[in-house]
Amino acid sequence: MKVLPKTYLLPVFLFLLNLGCQKVKDNEFSIPTAVSLTSNPDQLFKEPYRPQFHFSPQKKWMNDPNGMVFYKGVYHLFYQYYPDDIVWGPMHWGHATSTDLIHWQHKKIALFPDKLGLIFSGSAVIDYNNTSGLGTTEHPPMIAIFTYHNMAFEKAGKINTQSQGLAYSLDEGETWKKYERNPIIGNTNKKDFRDPKVFWNSDTKLWTMALVAGDRAEFYTSKNLIDWTKESEFGKQYGAHGGVWECPDIFKLKVNGNEEEKWILIISINPGAPNGGSGTQYFVGDFDGKTFTSAQKEPKWIDFGTDNYAGVTYNDAPNNQRIFIGWMSNWLYARNTPTKNWRSAMTLPRTLELTKINGEYLLKNKPVAAFKKLQKPAFTSNKIPLKANQKTDFKYEAFNQSEIRFNAANKDLQLVFSNDVKDSLVLHYNPKSKTFSIDRRKSGKVAFEKNFGKDIHKSNVSALVTNQIDFQIILDWSSIELFLNDGLYSFTEQIFPQKPYTQLNILSTEDQELQDFTISSISSIWPKKIAKNE
Ligand code: FRU
């Protein structure tokens, strides 16, 4: 039996009565595969801290997700990749594919640096009508539009190091050719000029691009993906400007799934995030195909944790879904995290939805529905009464590969994950100050960089106006993702416990009841044997 509520007897009783005995007999509580990580730590995908259900490269350095496009039943994920080291270096585009956004197949490197520069972030589209002339309508080209970063120019002290390039694939992303007249958008002496997000605007019937230029976004249109016209700029006087604007995205969403539609502009910024370093802000407004306008002057943030950066969304995802993936790190310490062989992972793919609370537009993000198929309930209880200031403890060997989900009253609540070497990760909702905090100062290894374990990360969560709050907490071997009220607020952070967390304490200053409480184990997405050079 893996779950043993220690100080609270009712859950033990219910557990044994309703589910426990039977399930233990059925042996459904077998130790999740991830627990065996310690037995052979050097095996690929079994290394210490290797995420078991988040995408990470087989080996070496990864940062931003790039070129996210759905085509013929396959989700393509390209990413900033340096194949020779576990720190940032000359950028390539790595490539992976998935049919469900959960299980991934590692593919060959898609784009290599060339004489025009390194391959920085960008996007991909399917040119169904062959507007570019680079394929045929029967075999439409997959087209990647990315930023070239010219190191020779940088070394020579030039400012105009970044330009936009195009590459195309006629075999569904397997092999790529660079467009021979690159760059398609040259540089007019702008220092930071990068990260093109291209999409087909079905309103204007034009290819449309957002890219960033230092402290603003620029919008372009094109008939053929090759010749681009600059239409407008947005942002100099809007949002956060503590750092350079990076990785834009723009798309429209229905408000609460109804008829009203708004456009969302996503902009990552580094530094200048609310909890330090890198973060991703968004603006809600309108876009007439040329110009983005917004009444919103202050930034709103996609995620209030420290580790969700450079996130963008899929082109052409089925059923009009807007699916987002972020890089689960922060430039403050991305190069220092204590992993060997590989460095960093992506967030879980998340569905974006737009809602309106007290007259304010807010973007929700929550794990895609397919994530459910990895879950196996290990403990469930309809009701867990909490007595004021009295702890309720759960013991479970596999918190670092689990989901904890329940509804709580809109009252004070603290959750502490810990292990027997005294690592502890503290989450706290304070209804009076309307704040939620994550304290990872003692969560495990933190000393690898001075900012990582410095502060408690406290965020305003004033849109939690419901009587009940839905908590969804997802822990992998080096991350926590937390979603409140179905993704109205999300918090994503890296953690490096010295041993897996085995204990959860729940405490409230008020009497209350947790409802529909479930601890689920999460299966590993990696096959038992992975070919090293897949
Ligand atoms: C964001 C970013 C992008 C750039 C890429 C380089 O993390 O700085 O602006 O294209 O990383 O790897």
CATH code for position 177? 2.115.10.20
Between the CA of 344 and the centroid of ligand 1 the distance, in Å, is 14
Confidence (pLDDT) at 528 = 75
Residues with Cβ < 8 Å from 21, sequence gap 6 or more? none
Domain end residue (candidates: 327, 347, 367): 347
3-state secondary structure of 313: strand
Distances (CA, A) of 227 to 20, 177, 224, 260: 64, 18, 6, 33
Domain end residue (candidates: 297, 332, 347): 347
Residue 52: pLDDT over 70: yes
Separation CA 228–CA 209 (nearest Å): 9
Between the CA of 277 and the centroid of ligand 1 the distance, in Å, is 14
Residues with Cβ < 8 Å from 235, sequence gap 6 or more? 215, 216, 217, 245, 267, 283
Same domain, 250 and 125: yes
Same domain, 256 and 158: yes
pLDDT tens figures, 173-191: 999 999 999 999 999 899 9
Residues with Cβ < 8 Å from 406, sequence gap 6 or more? 384, 470, 471, 514, 515, 516, 517, 518
Same domain, 237 and 145: yes
Between the CA of 53 and the centroid of ligand 1 the distance, in Å, is 24
Nearest CA residue ID for atom 12, ligand 1 = 120
Any idea which residue has 């410095």 for tokens? 454
Ligand 1 binding pocket mutation candidate from 82, 121, 193, 269 (most atoms within 8 A of CB) = 121
Evaluated on CA atoms 415, 418, 422, 424, the torsion sign reads negative
Domain total for the chain?
2
Identify whether 242 is part of a domain.
yes
Identify whether 122 is part of a domain.
yes
Is the Cβ atom of 247 under 6 angstroms away from ligand 1? Answer: yes
Is the Cβ atom of 64 under 6 angstroms away from ligand 1? Answer: yes
Give me the count of residues in the chain. Answer: 534
Confidence (pLDDT) at 11 = 40
Confidence (pLDDT) at 6 = 40
Active site residue 64: yes
Any idea which residue has 């220690």 for tokens? 6
In ligand 1, the atom with minimum distance to the C-alpha of 120 is: 10
Same domain, 88 and 205: yes
Identify whether 5 is part of a domain.
no
Q: How confident is the model at residue 40 (pLDDT cuts 50, 70, 90)?
A: low
CA-atom Rg of the chain in angstroms: 23
Residue 151: pLDDT over 80: yes
3-state secondary structure of 97: strand
The torsion defined by the Cα of 419, 423, 425 and 426, in degrees rounded to 10, comes to 100
Q: Which range (4-18, 19-33, 161-175, 334-348) has the least confidence?
A: 19-33
pLDDT tens figures, 410-448: 999 999 999 999 999 999 999 999 999 999 999 999 999
Provide the 10 A C-beta neighbour count for residue 156. Answer: 9
Identify whether 471 is part of a domain.
yes
Same domain, 233 and 339: yes
In ligand 1, the atom with minimum distance to the C-alpha of 247 is: 9
Domain with 508 in it? 28-35+375-522
Is the Cβ atom of 193 under 6 angstroms away from ligand 1? Answer: no
Confidence (pLDDT) at 43 = 82
Nearest CA residue ID for atom 9, ligand 1 = 246
Q: How confident is the model at residue 506 (pLDDT cuts 50, 70, 90)?
A: very high
Q: How confident is the model at residue 203 (pLDDT cuts 50, 70, 90)?
A: very high
Same domain, 111 and 248: yes
List the catalytic residue out of 42, 64, 192, 412: 64
Q: Are 503 and 377 in contact (CB under 8 A)?
A: no
Same domain, 223 and 279: yes
Same domain, 336 and 381: no
DSSP category for residue 72: T
Is the Cβ atom of 63 under 6 angstroms away from ligand 1? Answer: yes
Residue 15: pLDDT over 90: no
Which run of H or of E encompasses 514?
strand 512-522
Domain end residue (candidates: 304, 330, 347): 347
Confidence (pLDDT) at 18 = 38
Confidence (pLDDT) at 106 = 97
Question: If you average pLDDT over every residue of the chain, what do you get?
Answer: 92
In ligand 1, the atom with minimum distance to the C-alpha of 64 is: 7
Q: Are 458 and 435 in contact (CB under 8 A)?
A: yes
Same domain, 393 and 272: no
Is the Cβ atom of 310 under 6 angstroms away from ligand 1? Answer: yes
Identify whether 429 is part of a domain.
yes
Residue 237: pLDDT over 60: yes
Identify whether 43 is part of a domain.
no
Between the CA of 64 and the centroid of ligand 1 the distance, in Å, is 7
Same domain, 334 and 410: no
Q: How confident is the model at residue 363 (pLDDT cuts 50, 70, 90)?
A: very high
